[in-house]
Amino acid sequence: MMRVATIALVLASGALSQAFQEQAPLFSAPNQAPAVLGSSADAPSYRTDLLRLHKSLVSTSSTPGTEHDVGVFLIDYLNERGYKTQRQPIASTENTPEGKPRFNVLAFPPGSTGADPKVLVTSHIDVVPPHIPYGIEDGDVTDETRIWGRGSVDAKGSVAAMVTALESLLKADKVDVSKLMLLFVVGEEVSGDGMKTFSDAIANKKLPYAFDSVIFGEPTENKLACGHKGGLFCDITTKGIPGHSGYPWVGKSANELMIRAFAKILDTDLGSSEEYGNTTVNVGLFQGGLAANVIPETAFVKMAARVAIGTEKTGAWIVRDKVQAIFDEIDKEAFSMVCTHGYGFVASNCDVEDFETIVVNYGTDMPNFEGDHTRYLYGPGNILVAHGANENLTVAELETAVEGYQKLILHALKQ
């Protein structure tokens, strides 16, 4: 019974992956009367600017490879407010439109020379597909007004709150502008190529920065994250021997080998820790075989493991070796595994007053930015809705994030 249930789980995982690839909105925005911004008597002074910025970001489609338009909008928005901005070119992908190159957005507050920033405030401007239009509940805007759309949580909510937080601090003259820098990267949802390019440019002295602290924006429910699980991302191929399905003993089923292996992998403790729980495995894509009456010659799986052990540099490879040992036990000659990237659990600083804390299971750009700096991970929204058709958050969550980012920026500047 355990074997049958586990096999069903493996096959269901593949089906769910295919469904996600074809995901479309499960709803459409209602016919809306224009929302009245800042109508609550207790609304913060920045509410209108925050919600307008958030709407513009979410309304601009920016799936990985097609981030050009949202980058242009953000540069124009910041330039209009006196920021000094730069574009850092990022390599195109297969789906990048001609004439719309990809780039990271680097920005320095008004009055800054950009010579020696010490605190970096960063998030990503790409989102998972498909684009889901912006929507907001009808009527006057209150704390509980709900906003939806792709990126409303992950991570354009963080981008809008970060910019608004810094703007508020600048207006109150609470920060040394020379010590601050904004960075909004592309490609986080796929390979992290935007942050990796920025990191490499610093390591190779193409960019002259050395940061003491980096504040990363991701949906953490407005709790300060103490860290997140690592990741291991692999492609696995199984080679069998084709034949007639009525005579299975004359061939070797690649599908059966793959199912047997992952049934054992899913039941095996691949590594656990008190802080991060168990290492988990997702069979995100399963392909194999030609027809019901043919013994499958090949099978292919895309696997993602969420790694609960460390160190950051070694944890993923410990898990990889345990998975490889299972493949070897099932059939040493049939399996080949190529892991594109991986890392162990990633720690961040959560020792800041007045913040609830959390540990999250998803990956971020934190391990893609190498260096000897203190890391903070924080942002509005819940990851459980972030990649779904009902991605949404409330006005209160956005505004709480503005206040949280202000506290983190001031804290980081004092360290």
The residue type found at 129 is P
Is 14 or 142 the better-scoring residue by pLDDT?
A: 142
Q: Can you give the pLDDT at residue 321?
A: 98
β-partners of residue 123 are: 184
List, for residues 202-233, the tens digit of each pLDDT value. Answer: 999 999 999 999 999 999 999 999 999 999 99
3-state secondary structure the chain: CHHHHHHHHHHHHHHHHHHHHCCCCCCCCCCCCCCECCCCCCCCCCHHHHHHHHHHHHHCCCCCCCCHHHHHHHHHHHHHCCCEEEEEEECCCCCCCCCCCEEEEEEECCCCCCCCCCEEEEEECCCCCCCCCCEECCCECCCCCEEECCCCCCCHHHHHHHHHHHHHHHHCCCCCHHHEEEEEECCCCCCCHHHHHHHHHHHCCCCCCCCCEEEEECCCCCCEEEEECEEEEEEEEEECECEECCCHHHCECHHHHHHHHHHHHHHCCCCEECCCEECEEEEEEEEECCCCCEECCEEEEEEEEEECCCCCCCHHHHHHHHHHHHHHHHHCCCEEEEEEEEECCEECCCCCCCCCEEEECCCCCHHHCCCCCEEEEECCCCHHHHCCCCCEEEHHHHHHHHHHHHHHHHHHHHC
**CA distance to 142, 148, 236, per residue, from 155 (Å):** 22, 12, 31
- For the ranges 37-46, 137-146, 332-341, the lowest mean pLDDT is seen at 37-46
Predicted TM-score (pTM) above 0.85: yes
**What is the pLDDT at residue 76?**
98
Residue 34 pLDDT class (50, 70, 90 cuts): very low
* Residue of 67, 137, 188, 399 with catalytic role: 188
Q: pLDDT-based confidence at 31, cuts 50/70/90?
A: very low
Q: In this model, does residue 26 exceed pLDDT 80?
A: no
Confidence of residue 312 (pLDDT cuts 50, 70, 90): very high
Residue-wise pLDDT tens digits, 53-63: 999 999 999 99
Question: Per the omega criterion (within 30 degrees of 0), is the bond before 117 cis?
Answer: no
Q: What is the pLDDT of residue 35?
A: 54
Tell me, yes or no, if 188 is annotated catalytic.
yes
Smallest Cα–Cα separation from 151: which of 163, 165, 133?
133
Contacts of 360 (CB under 8 A, 6+ apart): 218, 220, 225, 227, 228, 229, 377, 383
CA distances to 81, 128, 144, 273, 367 from 215, rounded to whole Å, are 22, 22, 27, 25, 13
Average pLDDT in the chain: 92
Distances (CA, A) of 214 to 159, 202, 364, 367: 14, 14, 13, 12
Of 20, 380, 7, 406, nearest to 220 by C-alpha is 380
pLDDT in tens, 195-206: 999 999 999 999
Note the pLDDT tens digit of each residue in 345-394: 999 999 999 999 999 999 999 999 999 999 999 999 999 999 999 999 99
Report the candidate in 151, 110, 91 with the shortest Cα–Cα distance to residue 392: 151
